[in-house]
Amino acid sequence: MRQLDERPSQVGESITSSASATTDRNSGERSTEVAQEHPQRRVKRLIDRATTLVWRDRRVGFAVAAGGAAIAAVVAGWWTPRGPMTTSQALAAMVIGAVSGALAGIATRSRWAMLLAPVVFVAVFELVRIGAVGPTVDAIRPGSTYGILAFVVGRVSHGLVALVPMVLAAAFAAAWARRDHGDTSVRHGRARAGLYARRTFAVATTFGMVALAAGIARPAGTDQIRVDGEPVSASIAELIRVDIGGHDLALMIRGASTDNPILLYLAGGPGGSELGAMRNHLSSLEQDFLVVTWDQRGTGKSYTEIEPIATLTFDNAIADTIEVTNYLRNRFGQDKIYLLGQSYGSTLGVRAVQQHPELYTAFIGTGQMVSQRETDRIFYTDTLAWARTTGNNDLVDELTTLGPPPYAEQGDLEATLSYEHEIYPYDHSRNSEGEGGFSENFFVSEYTLVEQIHLLGGFLDTFYVLYPQLQDIDFRIDATTLEVPVYLAQGVHEARGRAELADEWFAMLDAPHKEMVRFDTSGHRPLFEQPAAFQEFMVGTVLADTAPST
């Protein structure tokens, strides 16, 4: 009996062993198959498994889509609170937008992803960057011209590079997910026509985004200096970045010879960048000077250095000017340089030569500023009188309510300053105020496409921070003596809010030598409005008077 009892056990063990061996063999075969599986199929299998888990519950899919967009927004808000400011940041924004949009489309399998992802991105991005300061990042002001411009350069431009790729990727990914996972419904008639129209629009927009990416990738550069089409061997023509005050600031240096006397140009604003104006109008100066055009911190090619805003001060701007001066002196082996300031640049220039006159051969002011507060008050008085004369009652009411400047909110200056060209007798028929004004800076090779987009944004944001710091300056009180020769180049048609104060200051100024020249068809920008006459003034008067004898 004992032997009979043991047999089944042995048989059972034999069956179990056989089954186990079969299982091990099958498992080994599957392991071999998995190991030999093509990587592309393996990835697809993993994606299928993940998407199946997401698609079991529609709410999970939408949560994944929203989470992906939110993560992208957090990264963007931390990295680029003012939107993409460089070529690499703009291209990265396009990629991040496309990836988060594709994730949303796959997770939801719905065209609703085209709305969900951008809405979540914008909401989270605005929350993350809430500490940023300036018109391009502050609350939208739709009733203001400056507010609309700030919205376009600060938000619309960002949306173009980040949200459009996001929407496109969401649309394509959602369509792929539906088609590749069981949605094979056939559309007829009007529905199919609508489908083809959407596809055509999507493809056209995609090509537009590719063209935009190519434009963004275009590098900046400045042409060689040539005579009769041939490069000048001893010349210099470069765009460089220099560490100034802990910030990476941009300089354009051009001259027929590095032995020429250095001329450092300070643009107006605060916030102006005029590489284009200098190249378009004053290239003739490059034969006699080593012309250096500096994009000050927060402007033009140096807009990326606007942060931290708390350190963007007028005192630091003066210190930066001195540091740029010393960089140029040391690099090119010259004891002193010429300093040329336009409008706000003339304010900055006077303060620089006050602090370190030993660094400068001469100061040249054009569109000379003396007291920003008093200038604004005169503009206010003249604008109010003009509004009453022309019957612009809305403007009269607005100015009366505001009262004379200064104002706590810089946006309130818009009513005072926006009508300058209508109030003052600028001779528009004879090129007064420059051929293109600020706009001529947008279309030169010295800026990348992203920098061109942000020229106006840099002006608005930097002006917003720096202009209030200029209100206590009055050269009639605190700059009546300068220890360097002073030359003023003034337009006959300059607005009286600047012209009268410049005349008054010049009369009381004590300097080793002082001279004022008036340009007969110019307004506020004679160096760009009458460039040939200005070049003659710089060479025939300034350089002839001050160049050391050899």
- Sign of the torsion angle spanned by Cα atoms 437, 439, 441, 444: negative
Lowest mean pLDDT among 65-69, 142-146, 186-190, 542-546: 186-190
Lowest mean pLDDT among 167-171, 255-259, 434-438: 434-438
**Looking at residues 306-332, what average pLDDT do you find?**
97
- For 458-486, the three-class secondary structure string (H helix, E strand, C coil) is HHHHHHHHHHHHHCCCCHHHHCCECCCCE
d(CA 466, CA 82): 18
**What is the predicted pLDDT for the residue at 248?**
97
Answer yes or no: is 304 within a domain. yes
Q: Is the pLDDT confidence value at 1 over 60? A: no
Bond prior to 406 in cis (omega within 30° of 0):
yes
Let me know whether 91 and 200 are in one domain.
yes
Cβ neighbours of residue 467 under 8 Å, at least 6 residues apart?
Answer: 270, 372, 410, 413
Mean model confidence pLDDT for the chain: 87
Q: Which runs of E-coded beta strand occur in 388-513?
A: 486-491
Answer yes or no: is 410 within a domain. no
Q: Residue 19 — very low, low, confident or very high, per pLDDT cuts 50/70/90?
A: very low
Domain of residue 11 covers 2-28
**What is the predicted pLDDT for the residue at 429?**
45
Judge contact between 519 and 492, C-beta under 8 A.
yes
Let me know whether 475 and 338 are in one domain.
yes
Q: Is the pLDDT confidence value at 210 over 60? A: yes
Rg (CA), the chain: 33
Let me know whether 240 and 145 are in one domain.
no
**What is the predicted pLDDT for the residue at 441?**
73
297: nearest Cα among 439, 151, 88, 459? 459
Answer yes or no: is 153 within a domain. yes
Q: Residue 434 — very low, low, confident or very high, per pLDDT cuts 50/70/90?
A: very low
Answer yes or no: is 330 within a domain. yes
Q: Is the pLDDT confidence value at 48 over 80? A: no
Q: 508 in the Ramachandran plot: left (φ > 0), alpha (ψ -120 to 50) or beta? A: alpha
d(CA 94, CA 90): 6
Q: Is the pLDDT confidence value at 528 over 90? A: yes
Answer yes or no: is 550 within a domain. no
d(CA 37, CA 485): 82
**What is the predicted pLDDT for the residue at 89?**
96
Cβ neighbours of residue 531 under 8 Å, at least 6 residues apart?
Answer: 281, 282, 284
**Looking at residues 161-186, what average pLDDT do you find?**
80
Distances (CA, A) of 354 to 328, 368, 479: 19, 16, 8
Let me know whether 213 and 102 are in one domain.
yes
Buried b (16+ CB within 10 A) or exposed e, 367-385: bbbbbbebbbbbbbebbbe
d(CA 103, CA 166): 10
**What is the predicted pLDDT for the residue at 240?**
97
**Looking at residues 222-243, what average pLDDT do you find?**
90
Answer yes or no: is 487 within a domain. yes
Q: Is the pLDDT confidence value at 113 over 60? A: yes
Please give the tally of structural domains in the chain.
Answer: 3
Let me know whether 196 and 267 are in one domain.
no
d(CA 299, CA 344): 13
86: nearest Cα among 451, 447, 445? 451
Q: Residue 182 — very low, low, confident or very high, per pLDDT cuts 50/70/90?
A: low
Let me know whether 159 and 16 are in one domain.
no
Answer yes or no: is 147 within a domain. yes
Distances (CA, A) of 459 to 15, 190, 307, 399, 412: 86, 50, 14, 24, 16
Let me know whether 339 and 439 are in one domain.
yes
**Looking at residues 208-225, what average pLDDT do you find?**
94
d(CA 289, CA 545): 15
For 263-308, the pLDDT digits (tens) are: 999 999 899 999 999 998 999 999 999 999 999 999 999 999 999 9
Judge contact between 305 and 297, C-beta under 8 A.
yes
Judge contact between 463 and 410, C-beta under 8 A.
yes
**Looking at residues 517-546, what average pLDDT do you find?**
94
**What is the predicted pLDDT for the residue at 194?**
61
Torsion of CA 96, 309, 253, 332, to 10 degrees: -130
Answer yes or no: is 201 within a domain. yes
Q: Is the pLDDT confidence value at 56 over 80? A: no
Buried b (16+ CB within 10 A) or exposed e, 342-358: bbbbbbbbbbbbbebee
The fraction of the chain above a pLDDT of 70, given in percent, is: 84
Q: Residue 229 — very low, low, confident or very high, per pLDDT cuts 50/70/90?
A: confident
For 385-417, the pLDDT digits (tens) are: 999 999 999 999 999 999 999 988 878 888 888
Let me know whether 213 and 238 are in one domain.
no
268: nearest Cα among 320, 321, 368, 343? 343
3-state DSSP call for residue 368?
coil
- Give kind and range of the element (H or E) at residue 244: strand 236-244
**What is the predicted pLDDT for the residue at 516?**
97
Let me know whether 95 and 194 are in one domain.
yes
Lowest mean pLDDT among 140-144, 149-153, 212-216, 508-512: 140-144
Q: How far apart are the first and last CA of the chain?
A: 131
Residue 41: Cβ within 10 Å count: 9
Let me know whether 198 and 250 are in one domain.
no
CATH of the domain at 499: 3.40.50.1820
d(CA 506, CA 475): 10
**Looking at residues 457-481, what average pLDDT do you find?**
95
Let me know whether 252 and 141 are in one domain.
no
Cβ neighbours of residue 377 under 8 Å, at least 6 residues apart?
Answer: 404, 405, 497
Let me know whether 111 and 166 are in one domain.
yes
